[in-house]
Each structure stands twice: as C-alpha cells, then as structure tokens.
Structure 1
Amino acid sequence: MDSLSKDIVVVGSVAFDDIETTKGKKNRLLGGSGVYFSIASSLYTKTHLIGIIGDDFDQKYIDMLHSKSISTDNLIRETGKTFSWGGKYSNDFNHRDTLFTDLGVFEHFNPQINSSKFNNPILFLANIQPQLQMQVINQVSNTNLIVMDTMNLWIDNNLDELKEVIKKVNILLINDEEIIDLTGIDDLYEAGLSLLPKGPKYIIIKKGSKGSVIISNEDHISIPAVPDIDVYDPTGAGDSFAGGFLGYLSTNSKFDLIGAVIHGTAIASYTVSGFGIEAIEKIKLQNIKKRIKLLEELIKEN
C-alpha cells in the first residue's frame, strides 16, 4: 500500500464525562471517542470530526478544536443536551463501572455528511453504533483507507450489523476482551486470524498495559506498552491510540504499521497521565519522541 492521504475523517461521539479513579474525581470533562481521536490525529494532519453536540456545548470547546486544525464543518449542533457519561474505575484500572449514560442529542444522531472537502481521506469509524458506522461508509466516497473500532455493547447487541461493517474495513482495532467476545476464541492470535477472511487485512489487538499485537496473514508482531506510566484516567486511551496510529500513517511515505502502533502507543501513554483530555491537549509531537525511541529499543531487545 502506497503513502496515504493527508486528511483524516472521523465519526465518533462528543461528550461530557464524569470520571472517578483512585487519583480523584472530576466532572463534566470534555471527552468522547471523536474528540480523543481528533486531538491525537491532529498532531499529524488535518482532521474532520463528524459528530453531534447539544446547545450546552460551549464555544470555547469549538475554538480549542479549531486551534488544532480540527474541522467542525460536520459537527452538528441540535437543541438538547450533549451526550454525557459517568464512570468509576477500579483501583488497578482494569475494570470500569458505568454510573450513568445520558445520550442526549446523540440518541437521534443521523450523519448527513458534506464530503466535498474530503480528498481521498482516511476514514476512522470510532466505537459508535454499527448502523451509524455503515451510514458514514456509504456517504464518504473514494476513501484511501477505512479503519474501525468497536465495543462489547455492539458485539453483544448488534452483531449482525457489526459483521457487515467489518466486511467493509481494511483495519480492525479491537481490544483483547472484545475479540474473545466477538470470535469465541480465547487465543488472541487465533482469534485475529479467524477475522482476516471476513474483511480486514490487518487486526490490531489492544491489550492495555500489556501493549498490542498486529496480526495479518503474513505475520504477527507484538508491540509493548510504555512502561512505568502513572495512570490517572484510562478514558480515551484507545481512541487516542487510534488517532496517533492513523495520524502517523497519513504522513508516512510507507505503510508502516509497526511505526504507526508505536506512535499510537506513545500518545495513549500521555492520555492516561491526566484526567480527560488534560494531558493529550497539551502535548506536541516533539514531546513523544523520547517515548517512541524507548518503544523502538524495547522492540529491538525482543
């Protein structure tokens, strides 16, 4: 696969989050899969955010997105409340209880996309409903690459629709629990291999603090996580991983999946070191070079 487009299009949620961890409790943090992804990918290239917000979404958040070359031309504002969610993490951050979910205007989100400004974009489908993911695929033409994420909720409740979306994508991002749930196979490598004939050419399995695995018909490669990170809030780690992953691919002349996973991993390690977008909002590409070099050295050692 040759070098990719410079622009990235993402469809995902825009939300306000209430987060409680052992490090503290914070309310009404800007979040959502589309926001985390866009902030990460905007470190590399122009990003177009497709989503929906309520009339309670302050202009200061729009200004912040614009300051990072994130286009909000396809961010719809409707009367009502912006999607909000509350979560509490276990002491080891491996488990999360949802305290409340208020879909607000997101409940009736119906993407109507003006794709005239997209030129052979990379399309990322964040972990929203499969029906919405398919709507966007059908509206964004001439994509250079289609990548998707998902979650257990859709695997458990919308499996048929999810399988149809998986058929359409080039790369599937999925975590270790989700791929076992999706395939019924406990061995991650075998689970990944079982999905390759069903659409994607590559499967990226995210394993949190244990790193990630790239699986294709040719090979499987393990990438470690950044060690010794002081975690404050894991929310958005997977979305910012995806943003760094695709951001790197969009600007690299070669289709370098290992490099892309390294960049995604490094950026996600910053995301978790603050609440919400506090940490990732402040970083620049030069900030992550040290962590990228560390990951490259760890891979060489193995």
Structure 2
Amino acid sequence: MPNTSDQSNHNLVVVGSVAVDWVITPSAERKDSVGGAAVFFAMAAAPLAKVQLVGVVGHDFPQGSISDLEHAGVDLAGLERSDGLTFRWKGRYHENMNQRDTLETHLNVFEDFAPKLPQRYRESDFLFLANIQPSLQLAVLEQMDKRPRLVGLDTMNLWIDIARDELLRVLARVDVLAINQEEALQLTEEYNLVRAAAKIRELGPKTLVIKRGEYGALCFGPDGSMFCAPALPLDDVVDPTGAGDSFAGGFMGHLASTGDLSGDNVRRAVIWGSTMASCCVQDFSYDRLRGLTRDQVDARYRRFVDLTRF
C-alpha cells in the first residue's frame, strides 16, 4: 500500500447486497429489517466520506430506506430497481450472539445481479467489493476506467468452498482483505493465524484485517507489522447482523476521507471501523447509524482512544 497522503475527501464506491432481513434474537425479533452488506457499509461510511452505492432492490424494498440513504448523503445512481422481490435472509441468533443459524435465504432479484457502474463511479479512488460472487467482483474491477488508489474486498466461506479459483484471481488485484478469523484459516488451510496472514498477503492483498466480533480486530500491515484493536465493551448488543459490514464502512470511510494510506493511518482506520461497528450492533438494522453526526462518531472514537491509552 503506497505511503501517500492528501486532505481531500475521495469518492468511495461500494458494491454489494441490499436486503430485507428477518432477524430473531434471544430477546426480540424484527421481520422486515433492512440490511445487506452495501447498506450497512454505506450507512457506516457516510458520516466520514462520500459514498457511491451499487446494488439491486426489488419493488418491495421500503421507500423509507431509500430516503434514509439519500439523507445520509449516499449516491444511489448505481442502485438498480427491479420488478421482482428484494434479496431476503432470515436468521436466528443464539444466546451467545456470536453464533447464528440461517433459517432461510431467498436471492430473488439478487440472483441475476450484474453490477453496472455509472460512468462517474468509474474513476473513483476508493472501491470496496463487499461479499458477493468473486466473478462479479472481478467484473466490477474491469469496469473501472483506472486502477483505484485502494481496493478493499470481503468474502465468505461459501466462495472459498465453491469459487476458490475466481476468488484467488480477484485477491491478486486488491489491496485490503477484510474477513473473519475462521475464513482466514479456511482460505489458507492453516491453524495458526499469523501464518495464515502471511500466506494471504502472498496472494495479493498487502493489508489483512481480521474481524473478531466482540474481541475486536487484528490488522496485518504491508510492512509485516501487526496491530490489535479491541471492541468497545457494550452492556447490550441488540443485533450484530451488520457489524462486519459497518466495520468495513468505517475503515474504508476514514481512509477515503483523509486520502492517507500510511501505516499509522491504517491503524486509525481500524479504530474507526470498530467505532462504527459498535454503533451498529446497538439496534436493529441500521437504526443506530441513521442520523449519526460527525460529532457523535468523533465522541465514540475518543472512547476507543481512552480505552486503549496506557
């Protein structure tokens, strides 16, 4: 990752799912909970950067959520409207909120999703490829008019299992990979996370961020450095569905807002990711992220700084 910096707020494109979820937790339930990786990412990044969203929704997607995204300043020129039903997911969380069971998945309009970048998105300096098929992630990269300054990517165990070759091709073209610990070990067939990180960095991404839920995040930098950030201790976690995507939004949003890709600023970006994730889990859907001001997220960021100062 180049060690360059400027103070302009760069455009940040996110490509991913937009969904309507049915979320069941041990204490509550929400049947029509708007989610999807692109939505959580965009709402978390919006207080920090200028976000451009690429996704697809059906005729059943709530207009109120379109308004929420627009009010947050998210550019929706890349959001496709289709006649079918929106991607839907139903899941139940255990008493241990780190564990959940998927009860239903209905791809609907997402099954035929072929991302199309509006022309003004194609020269953006920052791009995040959220968790979608690796072939679609590659197709997005091919649509860019120039190589972005920073490309981030998320993936999941399903693609590691059934689309490994395509995933390896896209990994060779990205700068940052953000996945959880289980996925990192599965991808490399390792049992040791440090060795797994070294193998992943050999595949292409020079920066690896391991999301560890309530245990925080680990960042392996391009110079071989390691950085460990805690999660903010919370007395009530309502809905962790969008935590990882919100982390990615805060992480990429900070980098896009500063234009600074130095190692020190990447570490700050990890804290910004944890900051936005800690907000997200305190309510269903993106409710806690809606209407957040920069002053409010700055105050939450300072809580992380106080937590780790010694």
Task: Report the TM-score, using the length of structure 2 for normalisation.
Answer: 0.93
Asked if structure 1 preserves the Cα contact closer than 8 Å seen for 2:54 and 2:116, the reply is: no
Does 2:132 correspond to 1:128? Answer: yes
- What are the residue-to-residue correspondences of 1:179-198 with 2, within 5 Å? 179-198=184-203
Q: Paired residue for 1:270?
A: 279
Q: Deviations over 1:105-156 (max 9, x none)?
A: 0000111222335543200000111111111111123212100011111111
- Residues 80-89 or 111-120, more deviating: 111-120
Q: Paired residue for 1:251?
A: 257
Structure 2, unpaired ranges of 5+? none
Asked if structure 1 preserves the Cα contact closer than 8 Å seen for 2:13 and 2:121, the reply is: no
Q: Distance between the aligned counterparts of 1:179 and 1:166, measured in 2?
A: 13
Does 2:246 correspond to 1:240? Answer: yes
Deviation, structure 1 residue 160: 1.0
Q: Distance between the aligned counterparts of 1:298 and 1:57, measured in 2?
A: 39
Does 2:52 correspond to 1:48? Answer: yes
- What are the residue-to-residue correspondences of 1:141-152 with 2, within 5 Å? 141-142=145-146, 143-152=148-157
Stretches of 4+ moved more than 3 A in 1? 117-120, 297-300
Q: Distance between the aligned counterparts of 2:153 and 2:178, measured in 1?
A: 6
Q: Paired residue for 1:2?
A: 4
Q: Which amino acid aligns with 1:161?
A: E
Q: Deviations over 1:171-199 (max 9, x none)?
A: 00011111011111122121111111110
Deviation, structure 1 residue 286: 1.6
Determine helix, strand or coil for the equivalent of 2:277. helix
Q: Paired residue for 1:218?
A: 224
Q: Paired residue for 1:172?
A: 177
Asked if structure 2 preserves the Cα contact closer than 8 Å seen for 1:3 and 1:250, the reply is: no
Could you say what the CA RMSD is over the residues aligned between the two structures, in angstroms?
A: 1.5
Asked if structure 2 preserves the Cα contact closer than 8 Å seen for 1:166 and 1:198, the reply is: yes
CA shift in 2, pair 1:109/1:117, >3 Å: closer
Asked if structure 2 preserves the Cα contact closer than 8 Å seen for 1:171 and 1:201, the reply is: yes
Deviation, structure 1 residue 62: 1.7
Q: Paired residue for 2:23?
A: 19
Asked if structure 1 preserves the Cα contact closer than 8 Å seen for 2:25 and 2:239, the reply is: yes
Structure 1, unpaired ranges of 5+? none
Determine helix, strand or coil for the equivalent of 1:56. coil
Q: How many residues align?
A: 301
Identity, in percent, stands at: 39
Q: Which amino acid aligns with 1:48?
A: Q
Does 2:288 correspond to 1:284? Answer: no
CA shift in 2, pair 1:117/1:208, >3 Å: closer
Task: Report the TM-score, using the length of structure 1 for normalisation.
Answer: 0.95
